Structure 1
Amino acid sequence: MSTTVFDKRTEPVPDEAATATPRPRRAIRKRLGPGRPLPYGWALGPLLLLTLWAAGSGAGLIDARNLPAPWTIAGTAGNLVADGRLQSNLATSAQRALLGLAFGVAAGLLFAILSGLSRLGEGLIDGPVQIKRAIPSLALIPLLILWFGIGETMKVITIALGVFVPIYIHTHNGLRTIDNRYAELAETVRLSRLQFVRHVVLPGALPGFLLGMRFAVTAAWLSLVVVEQVNATSGIGYMMELARTYGQTDIIIVGLVVYGLLGLVSDALVRLVERGTLSWRRTLAN
């Protein structure tokens, strides 16, 4: 009888799973976020409104006496630019808005720091600001007229009051949400009060401040619309009020378009600064 001899040194059969070539992993697509930013996505909404407006005017669905066609508005704007009225009034309006914005931002930032870094400051400042927050700035116009008259001072102060509240609220909130460990670390390395404000407080409050700036620039233009119709002799609002007297709807629409473009450009500038200064944050907007 023959026997088969098995060599004990026979190597084991390798596992197929271990020797298989690893398959490349598929890239997991993010489905929960909003996706990549669209090129010129900010213009989609305005372009859609403009298209609907033009289509309605061309089809005769919109009464030209109530809302002139876009091409009529463009012609009126060209005439206003040609005779210099639009540039002159726009320069006056921009000066008022920028002055009010500057004073409002400075006051809001200062009071937010005083209130955010001191319990005594918070007790003295935060309550009156919250009361002011509940009172619309435009409701104070009759009182401001009695105090400051109907000149430029009243107009700039009204705009500044509209800007002050959002700057204070969002900056103060940004200060209060700074991690307390940073304050403890600053005490450990013996930073001075000024160094603590410069290196910890201001960078920590920057996101809240920039968010407040977006609301502040909008509030500045909203306040400007009203104050320029209170015994003004120049400005976009004055031009619109004069057009209302003569029933010139097209000029009123031009003024509204200018206000809208100013607000859109201002907000875009603040968002551009926000994107540059806060590029280190990882958010859904990135």
Structure 2
Amino acid sequence: MRAQPAALTAPPAPLNRSNHRSAYTAFFRKSASFWLALPFPLGLLLLWALAAQQGWVAPQVLPSPQAVLATFTELIQSGELFDNLKISFLRVVLGFGVGVAGGLLLGVAMGLSPLFKDYFYPFFKAFSQVPVLGWLPLLMLLVGIDEALKIILIAKAALVPIAVNTYKGIENVPARYVDVARVLRFSRWQLLWRVIFPAALPPIWNGVRYGFTHAWLALVVVELLASSEGLGYMIVFGRQLFQLDVVIAAVVVVGVVGYLGDQVLARIEVILLGWRRSGF
């Protein structure tokens, strides 16, 4: 009797369930973190509703959640909320884009050129210590209170963390990576694009996320002080008219939009740094 080929007699290979297990583990971790984070805001909401119902605080000072929800619905139906949100979003996109470009250029220059860092970093350090509000009076005299003022201040708020993280990320690239590239006789451009920038990308992207957070905060601050449109203006206008329901609704929108923007950047980070999970 002839022996059958090994391919016919070999037992079937066991199914690899590691990917399924890792997917289930990630899913349960995300679910657990969601349920663990849920009780605190729900508790605050219940306490708020109870305080409004029992009259612990005057409704003119702390309107009920039902009143805020009704105002929020009214602002959506009238289009006022979306109009102001669109204006704020365009401002932060422009300012953040300028801040990203400037921060990356400065960070790369300081990270790659020790001479440039020695000359420029002390000035940059002093510049970064002045908060956004510190520049507001001077810039109001130079550029007025139009859109240029808001874009400049938002860009400044985003530029500082992006430049610092980019510079630190490039500076902290392990020396052994550069040594291997030299052994392989990489050119300068190959060293930059295949070694330095990929290794420095995680801290650089952290700087971008921090920059967005700072830009969004600066947007609200600028609109609170020097604007007649936007979410920050809605907060000021509601306070002036003692419409605290409008103030709370605008504050909630500011928090939700800022959180969603950071989550979008976090998803982009997963895509950009996906090669790290593959063991490259």
What TM-score, normalized by structure 1, do the two folds share? Answer: 0.80
Say if 1:73 and 1:253, in contact at 8 Å, map to a contact too: yes
Q: 2:258 aligns with which of 263, 272, 276?
A: 263
Task: Note if contact 1:97-1:156 (Cα within 8 Å) is conserved in structure 2.
Answer: yes
Is 1:245–2:240 an aligned residue pair?
A: yes
Residue 179 in structure 1 maps to residue 171 in structure 2: no
d(CA) in 2 for partners of 1:207, 1:179:
14
What's 1:9 paired with?
Answer: none
Structure 2 matches for 1:1-286, cutoff 5 A? 36-37=29-30, 38=32, 40-41=34-35, 44=38, 45-279=40-274
Could you report, residue by residue, the CA deviation over 1:118-152 in whole angstroms, capped at 9, with x for unpaired residues? Answer: 10121133222211221112211111111211110
Whether contact under 8 Å (2:60, 2:242) holds in the other structure is: no
3-state secondary structure, aligned to 1:65:
coil
Structure 2 stretches lacking a partner, 5+ long: 1-27
**Any gaps of 5 or more consecutive residues in structure 1?**
1-34
Alpha-carbon spacing, 1:212–1:41, altered in 2? closer, same or farther (3 Å): farther
Contact 1:162/1:219, CA 8 A, preserved across alignment: yes
| Alignment: residue pair count | 248
Helix, strand or coil for the counterpart of 1:67? Answer: coil
Deviation of residue 236 (structure 1)?
A: 1.2
Distance (Å, rounded) in 2 between the aligned partners of 1:176 and 1:213: 17
Q: What is the CA distance between 1:279 and its match in structure 2? A: 4.7
Partners in 1 of 2:92 and 2:36 — Cα distance? 24
Cα offsets for 1:230-282 (capped at 9, x unmatched): 44221111222222221111111111111111111122222223344335668
> Structure 1: which amino acid aligns with 2:149?
M
Output the amino acid matched with 2:185.
R
- Maintained 8 Å contact 1:150/1:230: no
Task: Describe the shift of the 1:96–1:277 C-alpha distance in structure 2 as closer, same or farther (beyond 3 A).
Answer: same
Taking only aligned residues, the RMSD between alpha carbons, in angstroms, comes to 2.1
Residues 133 and 56 (structure 1 numbering): CA distance in 2 closer, same or farther, change over 3 Å? same
| Letter in structure 1 aligned against 2:114 | R
Query: If each structure's helix is expressed as a fraction of its own residues, which one has the higher value?
Result: 2
* Aligned equivalents of 1:69, 1:262: Cα separation in 2: 22
TM-score, L = length of structure 2: 0.81
